[in-house]
């Protein structure tokens, strides 16, 4: 059985999407500032739920969170389009966030820990020597593209951290969901950011 691929693959290739290297800059439903086009927010939806996939508010980050648990079991992933690269990066980022959350952490402590790593701007992007997936990603062609990609990835990291914390602490308790933390030690494709 193959891993689940992104439903955004048809929309993530030029000319319908801007790509830097072969990484797509897809629209996001977010309040975090950055270069991504902003999709409309669905205010009737609780923070821990995603819109339906056919909704105009459904974005690639909703897909990352919905496919995370299923895809973490796979060591191989066949890239079928640019949106799959965002899916891979998102899954690896969620794994890194889960590794920071401990079972005894309150929601406030977890938010502080995860937001600290999400706000850190000193992370590797495709083309940097420390980036673990350089064989799958093309580097940016200019310094300006590299800065735009760094800003986009920072926006993705911050928004995914917000949504992940909303799901882990969705029941209102001050303890994280054991169903999410059980995936903290798993490494998608044997890699980590």
pLDDT tens, 115-144?
999 999 889 999 999 898 888 899 999 999
Contact 26, 6 (CB under 8 A): no
CA distance 47 to 191: 29
For residue range 157-171, list pLDDT tens digits in order: 999 999 999 999 987
Give the span between the Cα atoms of 60 and 17, in whole angstroms: 13
Instruction: Report helix, strand or coil for 121.
Output: coil
pLDDT at residue 63 greater than cutoff 90 = yes
- Judged by DSSP in three states, 108 sits in helix
> What Rg, from alpha-carbon coordinates, does the chain have?
16
Q: What is the mean pLDDT of the chain?
A: 88
Q: What percent of the chain stands above pLDDT 90?
A: 49
- Which pLDDT belongs to residue 188? 80
Q: Is 26 within 8 Å of 59 (Cβ atoms)?
A: yes
Q: Which residues of 20-48 are buried (b: 16+ CB within 10 A; e: fewer)?
A: bbbbbbbbbbbebebbbeebeebeeeeeb
The DSSP line for 136-192 is: TSPPPSSHHHHHHHHHHHHHHHHHHHHHHHHHHTTTS-SS--HHHHTTTT--GGG--
Report the alpha-carbon distance of residue 105 to residue 110 in Å, rounded.
6
Q: What angle do CA 170, 172, 174 make, to 5 degrees?
A: 105
pLDDT level of residue 44 (50, 70, 90 thresholds) = confident
* Phi/psi of residue 20, nearest 5 degrees: -115, 115
- What's the confidence (pLDDT) of residue 43? 78
In sequence order, what are the beta bridge partners of 28?
38
If pLDDT is split at 50, 70 and 90, which confidence band does 91 have? very high
**Does residue 156 have a pLDDT over 90?**
yes
Look at residue 14 and tell me whether its pLDDT is greater than 80.
no
């Amino acid at each position: 059985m193959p891993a689940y691929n992104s439903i955004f693959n048809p929309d993530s290739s030029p000319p319908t999407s801007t790509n830097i290297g072969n990484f797509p800059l897809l629209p996001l439903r977010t309040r975090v500032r950055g270069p991504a086009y902003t999709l409309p927010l669905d205010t009737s939806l609780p923070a821990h739920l995603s819109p339906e996939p056919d909704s105009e508010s459904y974005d690639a980050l909703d897909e990352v969170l919905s496919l995370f648990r299923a895809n973490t079991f796979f060591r191989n992933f066949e890239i079928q389009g640019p949106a799959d690269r965002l899916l891979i990066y998102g899954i690896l980022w969620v794994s890194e966030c889960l590794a920071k959350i401990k079972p005894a952490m309150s929601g406030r402590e977890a938010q502080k820990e995860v937001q600290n790593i999400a706000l850190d701007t000193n992370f590797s992007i495709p083309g940097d020597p420390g980036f673990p997936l350089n064989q799958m990603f093309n580097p940016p062609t200019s310094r300006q593209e590299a800065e735009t990609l760094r800003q986009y990835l920072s926006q993705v990291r911050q928004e995914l951290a917000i949504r992940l914390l909303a799901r882990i602490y969705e029941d209102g308790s001050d303890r994280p969901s054991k169903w999410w933390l059980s995936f903290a030690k798993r490494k998608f494709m044997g890699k980590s950011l």
